[in-house]
């Protein structure tokens, strides 16, 4: 139930950001992607940092505020990594795309690096276990691993329509990639809840 609550609050942050952009500022991802992505980052990042910092490793040695600081530090680091990864895979480069890429990268960092930074800090073995080997062990591992992988895979699938000659406005960078990332992130959250339930039921069966 606690994992479900964390994911519901994270999803609610996304919904509020999209609602705010559309209802208050009268923009959306297609009309003004940079502005909309900026609102998502500003609203979603603090929510993710504050929520996941509660589940920091070694709480007796790491205070809540220190975990919040680690999550905040992970935001620009993750944004840089996501931006470089996107460019390496073919994202357009230029001054007209710079603001869009920065805001998209910050959103992706909130989906991927920030939760891990808040929980694991600089524990390289845990980062490898979650992102390189995809071997979650605890409930919090599933809550970090599956949504992050879902966002990355969703963004990759979302990029497929970009080179097609349909001449639709939503094919521009990073609109369809963002839709794919958000969808993958949400599906990853749902999958993590399912895996947590299965993991807990299996653990209870072994104990019995």
Query: Residues 65-75: pLDDT tens digits?
Result: 999 999 999 99
CA distances from residue 100 to 28, 36, 68, 172, 177 in whole angstroms, order as listed: 13, 9, 26, 11, 12
> Which residues are CB-neighbours of 95 under 8 A, at least 6 positions away?
none
147 near 111, Cβ under 8 Å? yes
Evaluated on CA atoms 73, 130, 192, 40, the torsion sign reads positive
How many domains are there within the chain?
Answer: 1
Does a structural domain hold residue 147?
yes
What pLDDT was estimated at residue 207?
Answer: 47
Mean pLDDT for the stretch of residues 16-28: 93
**What confidence tens digit (pLDDT) does each residue in 74-113 have?**
999 999 999 999 999 989 998 999 999 999 999 999 999 9
Does a structural domain hold residue 171?
yes
Does a structural domain hold residue 206?
no
User: Whole domain around residue 59: which residue ranges?
Assistant: 1-201
- Mean of the per-residue pLDDT values for the chain? 92
Does a structural domain hold residue 164?
yes
Does a structural domain hold residue 208?
no
Does a structural domain hold residue 207?
no
Mean pLDDT for the stretch of residues 172-181: 95
From the CB of residue 23, how many other CB atoms can be counted at a distance below 10 Å? 8
């Amino acid at each position: 139930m606690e994992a479900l609550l964390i994911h519901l609050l994270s999803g609610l942050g996304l919904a509020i950001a999209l609602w705010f952009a559309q209802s208050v500022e009268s923009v959306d991802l297609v009309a003004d992607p940079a502005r909309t992505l900026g609102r998502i980052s500003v609203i979603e990042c603090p929510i993710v940092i504050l929520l996941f910092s509660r589940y920091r490793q070694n709480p007796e040695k790491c205070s809540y505020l220190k975990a919040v600081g680690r999550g905040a530090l992970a935001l620009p680091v993750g944004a840089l990594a996501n931006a470089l990864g996107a460019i390496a895979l073919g994202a357009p480069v230029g001054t007209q795309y710079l603001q869009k890429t920065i805001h998209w990268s910050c959103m992706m960092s909130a989906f991927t690096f920030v939760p891990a930074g808040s929980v694991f800090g600089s524990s390289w073995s845990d980062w490898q276990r979650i992102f390189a080997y995809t071997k979650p062990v605890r409930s919090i591992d599933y809550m970090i691993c599956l949504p992050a992988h879902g966002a990355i895979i969703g963004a990759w699938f979302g990029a497929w329509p970009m080179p097609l000659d349909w001449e639709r406005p939503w094919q521009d960078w990073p609109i369809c990639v963002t839709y794919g990332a958000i969808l993958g992130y949400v599906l990853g959250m749902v999958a993590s809840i399912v895996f947590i339930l299965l993991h807990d039921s299996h653990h209870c069966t072994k104990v019995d």
